[in-house]
Amino acid sequence: MRKQLKWTLLTASIALTIALLLSGIIFTLIVLTYDEPVTSVDELRLASFDQDLKGFVLEITLGIDNPNPFKLEVIRITGEIHIDEALVGTLYNSTGSSIDPHGSSELVITVHISDQQMRLYSGKELIVSGRTHGKYLFFEKDAPFEETKALSPNNGGPGNLPPIAFIEGPHTALVLEEVQFTGSGSSDPDGQIISYSWDLGDGSTAEGPDITHRYSRVGVFRVELTVEDDDGARTIAFHELIVGVVP
């Protein structure tokens, strides 16, 4: 009985040793074949500008490449936004997204930035920098990124600013009731709006700053207004309407 117990313990010890050795070999192979993940800024887009509140919305499109034969989990993205030397905003995004082995993915981050001193008009460069923090099976790794967007060369602002879209209208209505929507509250900080395009959420479309429409069925409809300025920039506003049969 004792000999059998000793033999069992010896066998278990040998199996454990082999397992540890194999784990070490696998880990070593992974480390030897590991390449740094790469994060790049594919696009910096000024999504909207609010002159009254002195702020703007920046859309940052990040491209993340995973060159390794195992899945990468992106845990978080952190960074800073500068106009010239001044810090005007920070980035923090917990994505929880995964990138397949030898795969790539794009992540869009939207940031509202307060710009009380109107540096967007007076600055020369908009600079976004940071890092993505990713996790592989056995270890974690950061991938830095940085991108600079030149503002107007004469320090007069970032070239054409996009228009600001705004919808005014009811949020409830009855079937076949005439519903009025207006986009006349939309504006363009450095030009004028030349077109108003409506998607009324039920397959219908319309043009112009002020429209009316009748819904033939009940439901929840997302109304979209796209405004375009005289330099070709576009912005979309959204409005939810609930249509029923009982007032």
At 23-43, the pLDDT tens digits run 544 444 445 456 778 888 888
Q: What's the maximum distance between 2 C-alpha atoms anywhere in the chain? A: 94
How many CB atoms within 10 Å of residue 106? 10
Does the pLDDT value for residue 79 go beyond 90? yes
Q: CA angle at residue 30 from 29 to 31, to 5 degrees? A: 90
Instruction: Give Rg (Cα) of the chain.
Output: 28
Percentage of the chain beyond pLDDT 90 is: 30
Are 179 and 217 in the same domain? yes
Q: What pLDDT, on the 0 to 100 scale, is given for residue 181?
A: 96
Burial of 88 (0-12, 13-18, 19+ CB in 10 A): buried
pLDDT per position as a tens digit, 111-129: 888 888 878 777 888 899 9
Q: Are residues 221 and 176 in the same domain?
A: yes
Q: Contact at 8 Å (CB) between 218 and 185?
A: no
90: left (phi over 0), alpha (psi -120 to 50) or beta: beta
Which residue range forms the structural domain that includes residue 198? 172-244
- The pLDDT of residue 236 is 83
Residue 40's φ and ψ, nearest 5 degrees, are -130, 155
* Three-state helix/strand/coil letters over 145-167: EEEEEECCCCCCCCCCCCCECCC
What the block records as the tokens of 205 is 């479309």
In a domain, 60, yes or no: yes
Closest CA to 110 of 68, 71, 81, 135: 81
Cα–Cα distance measured from residue 144 to residue 130, given in angstroms and rounded to the nearest whole number = 6
**Contact residues for 207 (Cβ-Cβ < 8 A; gap 6+):** 195, 196, 197, 198
147 has pLDDT over 60:
yes
Same domain, 75 and 130: yes
pLDDT at 175: 95
Number of domains in the chain: 2
Whether residue 227 sits in one domain with residue 196: yes
The CATH number assigned to the domain holding 144 equals: 2.60.40.10
172-174 and 234-244 strand pairing:
parallel
pLDDT tens string 180-203: 999 998 888 778 899 999 999 999
pLDDT: which is higher, 186 or 205: 205
Is 18 inside a domain boundary?
no
Q: Give me the pLDDT at residue 49, please.
A: 66
Give residue 52's pLDDT band: very low, low, confident or very high (50, 70, 90).
Answer: low
Q: Do 145 and 188 sit in the same domain of this protein?
A: no
With a CB cutoff of 8 Å and minimum separation 6, the contacts of 15 are: none
Report CA 118 to chain centroid distance, whole Å.
Answer: 24
